Chain A
Amino acid sequence: MSQRIVIDPVTRIEGHLRVDVEVADGRVAKAWASGQMWRGVENILVGRDPRDAWAITQRICGVCTTVHAICSVRAVENALKLEIPLNANYIRNLIILAHAIHDHIVHFYHLSALDWVDVTSALKADPAKAAALAESLSTWSGNSRHEFAKVKERLSGFVGTGQLGIFTNCYWGHPAMKLPPEVNLIAVSHYLQALEVQRYANKIVSILGSKTPHIQNVAVGGVANPLAVDAQSVLTVERLMAVKGWIDKLEDFVKNVYLVDVAVIGAFYPEWTQIGRGIVDYIAAPDIPLDGKGETFALPGGHIANGDLGQFTEIRSFADQYLLKGVSEAVKHSWYEYKAGDDASLHPYEGETTPKYTDFQDEGKYSWLKSPTFYGKPMQVGPLARVLAMLAAGHAPTTQYATATLERVSSIAGIEVGLGAMHSTIGRHAARAVACAVQVDELARQWDLLLANMAKGDLDTFNAPSFPRGEQRGMGFHEAPRGMLSHWVVIENGRIRNYQCVVPTTWNAAPRNEKDVPGAYEACLVDTPVAVPDEPLEVLRTVHSFDPCLACAVHVLDTEQTEVVRVKAA
């Protein structure tokens, strides 16, 4: 006997995702992922000046503002074959990396850790024991008995008021919660410390982007930051020294807290290395260009077929033809129609965004997301794809952090955990932490590169674009926190004729494609165990492991669309 569960989130503006699962014998048998919001930004852009596209596209989403700004200018620069100055490249890289680190820390501690951490259980913890455990694993200065006692006290006061606030959507006391009280207390303490630390990453984006949320400094052709070695009103060495100080604080937290916590949680949930595998065809874009043309990259990317690192094809430049030719999008199960018929799959340059809404039809149309494929196959994108691609490309720092993390999990769990465990729900969390450690090192390096280049007397940040008559086509890609993002622009006589954004959550949360093959979420959810049908914590764990653009506040509806109350207070 199967049971249908509908998980429909609050209407947050970004990534309104609905997930339907059919549960039979305690496991997910079938899944549907449905984007619940029409995203017509492409249509807004038609006819506009390509130099304005970045400012508009960065408003698509509340989480990924900077990534759309960066990707958009890259697309237009690609169309114009416009090189950007080195300083502009380094400043963009610093923004990209600081934003990614911010995003990963907030995702793990504030959005998804509560799927694994039982806050009320922390109230039963012995702070001394928690400190002994935490100090045995890390040199972090925030792991003292006094710190943990203070957090426990604050937590009990908070729970006592009945105002659960941020914790209202969590499944406390759920049978799938397995951490001991001391580990829960450590995790809650780090949750609070992460709130303090995330602001350093945000400050870096603010200083370099001139404003946050929504950066103001990018431009087609470079950045709008005037550089100076001493003048007050511009980006000075003094401000850059402040940035360096924040980078150091981020490094301490990412390496001594985040990487450790992921390993600890992984070690206590070893069964989750066997759940959530799904699609093991991966694609990640290379990023952090080291030149103004996008021909060399600090962090490699590419396509991995069949989960086999030996079957890796590297993406080599901003003009990479293998990537450019491989992407297409289908709408057979999406609320759009194509002139050529809904069995077609269109390249983004030829993409169409014409809505055709129906009801939610299990076998027909059921999502506002299109279904992107790479050479006809659905892909998984995100930090796991990124880390696997960097491993396949032989990127040394990635290999070092990934190996150390797997060894740490193995030693805490007392079992051998190998690379194969990464193709899983918990593996996606581990990969995000590994990627974050790589990014924090790269952030420090890009800072050095910027300062060294300025020291040579080069203060250029902008090459003015010019738009010739006729048509130009451009692809911009960016390895965003949630995975490979690409913008595709067709310019005609200096105006945008077509614009398509193929975003990471579209790759992962795609509905079935034109050949009825499920997308990554849909495939990864199959076989996920569900202990309590009206509290489908396990389903959320797998969906959250992708870091979809939605918060942990997910409503559970039954098929009558009446809300199921599922807050478990202690």
Chain B
Amino acid sequence: MKGETGTAQPACSASTTSRTARRGVLLGVGNILLSDEGVGVRLVERLLAGYRLPAGLQVLDGGTCAMEMLEDLEYLDLLVIADCVRSGRNPGSVVVLRDGEVPAFFRTKLSPHQVGLADVLATLQFIGRAPRQTVVVGVEPQSLATGMTLSPPVRAALTEAQDALIDALAKGGYGLEAQREAA
């Protein structure tokens, strides 16, 4: 991921975590070795390539990690998660879950890596540093087979999912601006 675009470098931002400044995070999670499982990571890569990020918004490729992300997710006013979600809909369906619906998302095991992220969010709750607002944008997978490319229906859903992410960020006060030469 390009470090120069926006603020996608936790290495530098780690020490600037504070409870006063407004901070938002767009987090892509998933395993890019399992085809559609990596759609969350692919989505944030697309956004980073095509848009300029507003101040205070950090974009993270969380991969399949958990506790390593704790500090980056503390004291957020907005957390938007891009993820692969298994909810029994047609492959490529885009689902948006907000606040109250998010814990249910984790309880019903819709996503293969929800445990790690659920642990992080529960820990943030316990230490009183949970995000004020959380939105999950999920894409229903077709294939979780070993491979590094997305299936056709999921690829076709990328624009809709990206729009949903941009919408969620804009509603939370983080408007994205398209780069002149969008990738």
Q: Which A residues fall within an 8 A CB radius of B?
A: 10-14, 38-41, 43-44, 56, 59-63, 65, 102, 106, 110, 154, 158, 163, 165-166, 192, 195, 198-199, 202-203, 205-207, 209-214, 242, 551, 553
Contacts and interface: CB of A to CB of B under 8 A. Distances in A.
A102 B31 CA distance: 22
B9 A59 contact: no
B1 to A, nearest CB: 7
Contacts of B140: none
Contact of B119 (A13, A102, A154, A551): A551
Given A202-B68, A211-B1, A195 B123 contact: yes
Q: List 7 A-B pairs, minimum CB-CB distance, nearest first.
A: A62-B64, A165-B122, A213-B65, A40-B146, A206-B11, A166-B122, A12-B115
25 contacts: A11-B109, A12-B116, A13-B31, A13-B34, A13-B64, A13-B116, A14-B64, A38-B146, A62-B66, A102-B68, A110-B67, A165-B126, A192-B127, A195-B70, A195-B127, A199-B70, A205-B68, A206-B10, A207-B11, A210-B11, A212-B11, A213-B64, A213-B68, A214-B63, A553-B118
Given A12-B113, A203-B14, A166 B31 contact: no
B104 interface: no
Contact of B112 (A11, A44, A166, A202): A11
Interface of B: 1, 3, 9-11, 14-15, 31-34, 37, 61-71, 109, 112-116, 118-119, 122-123, 125-128, 146-148
A177 B155 CA distance: 50
Nearest to B120: A166
A213 B127 contact: no
A199 B122 contact: no
B116 A44 contact: no
A151 to B, nearest CB: 11
Contacts of A210: 3, 9, 11
Contacts of A211: 1, 3, 9-11
A166 B109 contact: no
Contact of A212 (B3, B68, B116, B146): B68
B64 A61 contact: yes
Nearest to B32: A59
Contacts of B65: 62-63, 65, 212-214
B40 to A, nearest CB: 12
Contact of B33 (A44, A154, A203, A206): A44
Given A59-B63, A62-B64, A199-B70, A44 B113 contact: no
A40 B147 CA distance: 9
A44 B147 contact: yes
